[in-house]
Amino acid sequence: MTVHAVTAHRLSDLRARTARVALVFGISLGLLYAGRALVDPTRAHLVMAGAITAVLVGIGLRSPRSLLYGLVVWLAALGLVRRLAAEFSPAPQSDPLLLVEAAAVGVLLIVAAARGAFSNLTGLAKAVLALSLLVVLGAINPLGGSLTAGLGSLYLILIPMLAFWVGRSICDDRTLATTLGLVASLAVAAGVYGLAQTFNGFPSWDAAWISTGGYEALNVGGATRAFGPFTSASEYAIFLGIGFVAWLAFGFRLVRLPFAVGAVALLATAIFYESSRGIIFTLVFAVALMVAARRRLPIAISAALAVAALFAVPFVTRSVASSPTVSATDPGSALAAHQIQGLSSPLSSQDSTLGAHFSLFTNGLRSAINNPVGLGIGSVTIAGSKYGGETVSTEVDPSNAAVALGIPGLVAYLAVVGIAFFNAYSLASRRRDALAIAALGVLVITLLQWLNGGQYAVAFLVWLVLGWVDRARLAEHA
């Protein structure tokens, strides 16, 4: 053995021993901290977050795709885990459990960069990169009033956006199909949980969250909307919608047909009793576009047909449904009545909140004229109110982009949406396979909520699918 080989062997052995010592030292510190948490329960959330992060990162170092699947499951269960943890120890103002996603996405992003995620930039990739840079600038915008709020908001907006680069490099067809199949199964489980909340009542951990959260949007005519294992009813509804379009796209093959019919029926029931009208309209719009893409109709004709389907919803609802008798002991009847009234009269100020939402939207767009550089991203996330800023969220992406990032942010956001939808529809109409059709459905179901990082499980999926669309388009032109 040469001197060089001996030296290399000794260095390798030294590095291995150093790594083992560091590992033992790290585990020892972790155990000491865990022991302290048993005495000080307020640190339990931090210990739990550290343990889950260690498991996910360990998985990611061996298999990035397994980490991706694990992260999807974690985000779907995050709300429930936080509520269960709060049963044993109070959650701090900044819950460290929220940092698990950032750590996992960081590992995936490192792998993605090594695999060329930032090379061969397309128009969509450049638009996403520009919007991401504006989001970073929006975090330090002095008009936001609180730097802490701006930096905290990066977690809610920027971290999910990084999934675009993960989808662009790691997420091949098989990986995305597996991911959406996993989401479809999780949606069924979430739907069962939500229906149990509606008809059997909320378990103690959910009831405690409702009482302490002051979440007025959950209250409908004296009944409380279901939210499943998620942090909000809106996230629950959209996640169910993603599962619905995934089952539609993948499930209707002979071997899967019985399962698909049952899953679609259960998800439709859960979505109906969630009692939000917006998800019904976006679901109709998504299914119409998916069918049109499958038929290879031009995008303009498809859009016109999808809009016509939206206008048909009130007429169909009035023709086939009547409001049930509301019972004080049956929350389902109140939720059903609220749903039917809103679908029958979407423009009524008494039965629909469309007018209020539209007012928030227009006011948000006008703010870009008064503040061309925006008020910072803390102004449109819960981090704004939590860390000393002011939250003026308009509830939808275009106006939120205008408020937070001003005219440049609105332009960048519209560029991302325009390019993404053209690419996704074109891809679906050319390939006509279940995966491309499902990806189109996911993007439509989540429309106007792509920047809503408070919907943890949903926001990550949106940008992952967008990255896959860009990857698939590149592969076609390779």
Lowest mean pLDDT among 85-89, 117-121, 224-228, 389-393: 389-393
Domain boundaries, the chain: 122-476
Mean pLDDT of 118-141: 95
pLDDT digits (tens, 9 = 90+) for 63-82: 999 999 999 999 999 999 98
pLDDT recorded at residue 80:
94
Q: Any residues with CB less than 8 A from the CB of 149 and at least 6 apart, and which?
A: 376, 378, 381, 383, 384, 386, 387, 388, 389
> What's the average model confidence in pLDDT over 94-117?
89
pLDDT at 89: 72
Q: What is the pLDDT of residue 88?
A: 77
**C-alpha distance from residue 101 to each of 144, 223, 230, 365 (Å):** 25, 33, 15, 31
Please report which confidence band the pLDDT of residue 186 belongs to, taking 50, 70 and 90 as the band edges.
very high
- Give the pLDDT of residue 15: 52
Q: Given pLDDT bands bounded at 50, 70 and 90, which one contains residue 352?
A: low
Q: Which residue has the higher pLDDT, 195 or 53?
A: 195
Say what the pLDDT of residue 368 is: 84
pLDDT > 70 fraction of the chain, expressed in percent and rounded: 83
3-state secondary structure the chain: CCHHHHHHHHHHHHHHHHHHHHHHHHHHHHHHHHHHHHHCHHHHHHHHHHHHHHHHHHHHHHCHHHHHHHHHHHHHHHHHHHHHHHHHCCCCCCCHHHHHHHHHHHHHHHHHHHCCCCCCCCHHHHHHHHHHHHHHHHHCCHHHCCHHHHHHHHHHHHHHHCHHHHHHHCCCHHHHHHHHHHHHHHHHHHHHHHHHHHHHCCCHHHHHHHHHHCCHHHEECCEECCCCCCCCHHHHHHHHHHHHHHHHHHHCCCCCHHHHHHHHHHHHHHHHHHCCHHHHHHHHHHHHHHHHHHCCCCHHHHHHHHHHHHHHHHHHHHHHCCCCCCECCEHHHHHHHHHHHHHHCCCCCCCCCHHHHHHHHHHHHHHHHHCCCCCCHHHHCHHHHHCCCCCCCCCCHHHHHHHHHHHHHHHHHHHHHHHHHHHHHHHHHHHCCHHHHHHHHHHHHCCCCCCCCCCHHHHHHHHHHHHHHHHHHHHHCC
Q: pTM of this prediction?
A: 0.88
